[in-house]
């Protein structure tokens, strides 16, 4: 481990040595550097995949198809997250093209990753004949796990922090001081006043805790109150959107719309939370009277349920009708046998 940064917290008497580089080694003359940021992101991704795979198995979803979603969704998500960030800071990256690919130094916008990942997943679902909304429910809980763990990568890079605070968990390091000093006047122009030498809000910690709590909340809702496919993803939109809209207001590295003071992620979060809440409320009311659902199964409206019930009873009615017809057919032979008896009786009477 190398490139240590000593990080201090108001509630701790001693600083913590935080490594930006986890390991360095050479293979066949090729020097390889493992950044702690990347390792933490990878660990969060792994946990998200394991949880998603477990949910897919429980819901009897095709793991073969899920792997296709994982591969294409991951690639599209990483590219989308980076492009979203780069385009939001094109004034800088337009002059430093080579730095566009240095994702290990940070700079992944979660909304860009989610949007592109969902688009890729939708295409795969269409091609592989998968239920897209069930997939979204499976992904929702997994996303929160990945985000909750992945945010700690920001801690090791000492980035994504907020304005000054005197709270016990206020954080300070040479990197926070350097960043705030370098962007002091830029922040002032945005109406944000900071003291580079004072502790700041560890906003990465706020988001990490909120996401991990969200995992528990969404899991309980899924187990007890799931009524339709897509419900968990709507819950995710509300849960994460509310948190991000609040915490983004504390951050000092926000992406802005042009030269305005409107933060991109904050605006998107408010819109996402509001839209998801309205749709969630409407669909929950619509499916409220349906029977308790089973995990991983599509749920239908009352009319569709009644139609399905009628289809189930139709075969029983046909069998009953066939039985009646068979019974009447078996009763016919004795009637035919009775005819000669009547004829014989008539003939004997004529002979007499």
Q: What is the pLDDT of residues 124-142, one digit of tens each?
A: 999 988 889 989 999 999 9
- What is the C-alpha to C-alpha distance for residues 11 and 287, in angstroms, rounded to an integer? 49
* Res. 343: pLDDT tops 70: no
Q: How confident is the model at residue 228 (pLDDT cuts 50, 70, 90)?
A: confident
Q: 30-35 and 2-9 as β-strands: parallel, antiparallel, unpaired?
A: unpaired
State phi, psi for 33 to the nearest 5 degrees.
-120, 125
Strands ordered across the beta sheet of 171-173: 30-35, 16-27, 2-9, 171-173
Segment 107-111 shows an average pLDDT of 79
pLDDT value of residue 316:
52
Segment 195-199 shows an average pLDDT of 96
Instruction: Output the average pLDDT for the chain.
Output: 83
Select the more confidently predicted residue: 101 or 56: 56
pLDDT value of residue 317:
53
Coil, strand or helix: which one is 227? coil
Compute the radius of gyration of the chain from its Cα atoms. Answer: 33
Q: How confident is the model at residue 307 (pLDDT cuts 50, 70, 90)?
A: low
- Least confident window among 79-88, 120-129, 209-218, 284-293: 284-293
Greatest extent of the chain over all pairs of C-alpha atoms, in Å? 136
pLDDT value of residue 319:
53
Question: Is the CB of residue 204 less than 8 Å from the CB of residue 151?
Answer: yes
pLDDT value of residue 322:
55
Segment 277-302 shows an average pLDDT of 67
Segment 3-16 shows an average pLDDT of 92
- The residues with which 31 forms a beta bridge, in sequence order, are 26
- What is the C-alpha to C-alpha distance for residues 88 and 81, in angstroms, rounded to an integer? 11
* Res. 182: pLDDT tops 60: yes
pLDDT value of residue 352:
43
First to last CA, the chain: 127
* Res. 302: pLDDT tops 50: no
Most confidently predicted of 6-10, 262-266, 338-342: 6-10
- The residues with which 171 forms a beta bridge, in sequence order, are 9, 200
Q: How confident is the model at residue 321 (pLDDT cuts 50, 70, 90)?
A: low
State phi, psi for 340 to the nearest 5 degrees.
-60, -35
Segment 162-176 shows an average pLDDT of 96
Structure tokens at 52: 């998603």
Question: Is the CB of residue 142 less than 8 Å from the CB of residue 236?
Answer: no
- What is the C-alpha to C-alpha distance for residues 6 and 308, in angstroms, rounded to an integer? 65
| DSSP one-letter string for 44-99 | HHHHHHHHHHHHHHHTT--HHHHHHHHHHHHHHHHHHHHHHHHHHTHHHHTT-GGG
- What is the C-alpha to C-alpha distance for residues 211 and 230, in angstroms, rounded to an integer? 19
Helix (H) or strand (E) holding 17: strand 16-27
- Least confident window among 34-43, 224-233, 331-340, 341-350: 341-350
* Res. 304: pLDDT tops 60: no
pLDDT value of residue 23:
87
- What is the C-alpha to C-alpha distance for residues 43 and 208, in angstroms, rounded to an integer? 14
pLDDT value of residue 50:
92
Q: How confident is the model at residue 104 (pLDDT cuts 50, 70, 90)?
A: low
pTM: 0.77
| DSSP one-letter string for 324-338 | HHHHHHHHHHHHHHH
- What is the C-alpha to C-alpha distance for residues 29 and 12, in angstroms, rounded to an integer? 43
Q: 171-173 and 2-9 as β-strands: parallel, antiparallel, unpaired?
A: antiparallel
Helix (H) or strand (E) holding 273: helix 264-286
- What is the C-alpha to C-alpha distance for residues 302 and 289, in angstroms, rounded to an integer? 8
- What is the C-alpha to C-alpha distance for residues 178 and 160, in angstroms, rounded to an integer? 14
Q: How confident is the model at residue 323 (pLDDT cuts 50, 70, 90)?
A: low
Q: How confident is the model at residue 259 (pLDDT cuts 50, 70, 90)?
A: confident
Cα of 279 vs its chain's centroid, Å: 17
Most confidently predicted of 56-65, 229-238, 298-307, 308-317: 229-238
Cα of 2 vs its chain's centroid, Å: 34
* Residue partners of 122: CB distance under 8 A and separation at least 6: 132
- What is the C-alpha to C-alpha distance for residues 84 and 104, in angstroms, rounded to an integer? 16
Structure tokens at 302: 């009352």
* Res. 350: pLDDT tops 80: no
Segment 326-336 shows an average pLDDT of 51
Segment 144-172 shows an average pLDDT of 94
For residue 133, the tally of other CB atoms under 10 A from its CB is: 17
* Res. 72: pLDDT tops 70: yes
């Amino acid at each position: 481990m190398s490139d240590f940064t000593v990080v201090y917290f108001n509630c701790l008497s001693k600083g913590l040595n935080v490594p930006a580089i986890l390991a360095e080694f050479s293979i066949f003359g090729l020097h390889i550097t493992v950044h702690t940021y990347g390792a933490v992101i990878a660990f969060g991704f792994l946990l998200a995949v394991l949880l998603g795979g477990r949910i897919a198995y429980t819901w009897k979803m095709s793991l073969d198809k899920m792997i296709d979603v994982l591969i294409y969704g991951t690639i599209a998500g990483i590219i989308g997250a980076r492009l979203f960030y780069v385009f939001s800071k094109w004034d800088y990256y337009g002059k430093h093209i080579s730095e566009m690919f240095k994702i290990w130094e940070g700079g992944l916008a979660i909304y860009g990753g989610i949007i592109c990942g969902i688009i890729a997943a939708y295409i795969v679902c269409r091609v592989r004949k998968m239920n897209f909304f069930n997939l979204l429910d499976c992904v929702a809980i997994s996303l929160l796990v990945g985000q909750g763990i992945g945010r700690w990568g920001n801690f090791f890079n000492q980035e994504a922090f907020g304005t000054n605070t005197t709270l016990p968990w206020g954080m300070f390091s040479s990197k926070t001081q350097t960043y705030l000093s370098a962007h002091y006047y830029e922040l002032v122009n945005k109406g944000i006043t900071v003291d580079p030498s004072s502790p700041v809000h560890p906003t990465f910690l706020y988001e990490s805790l909120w996401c991990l709590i969200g995992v528990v909340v969404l899991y309980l809702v899924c187990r007890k109150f799931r009524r339709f496919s897509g419900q968990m993803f709507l819950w995710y939109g509300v849960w994460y959107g509310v948190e991000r809209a609040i915490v983004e207001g504390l951050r000092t590295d926000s992406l802005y719309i042009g030269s305005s003071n409107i933060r991109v992620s904050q605006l998107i979060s408010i819109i996402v939370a509001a839209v998801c809440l309205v749709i969630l409320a409407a669909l929950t009311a619509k499916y409220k009277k349906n029977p308790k659902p089973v995990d991983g199964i599509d749920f239908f409206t009352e009319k569709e349920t009644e139609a399905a019930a009628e289809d189930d009873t139709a075969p029983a009615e046909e069998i009953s009708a066939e039985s009646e017809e068979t019974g009447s057919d078996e009763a016919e032979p004795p009637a035919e046998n009775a005819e000669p008896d009547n004829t014989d009786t008539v003939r004997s009477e004529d002979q007499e």
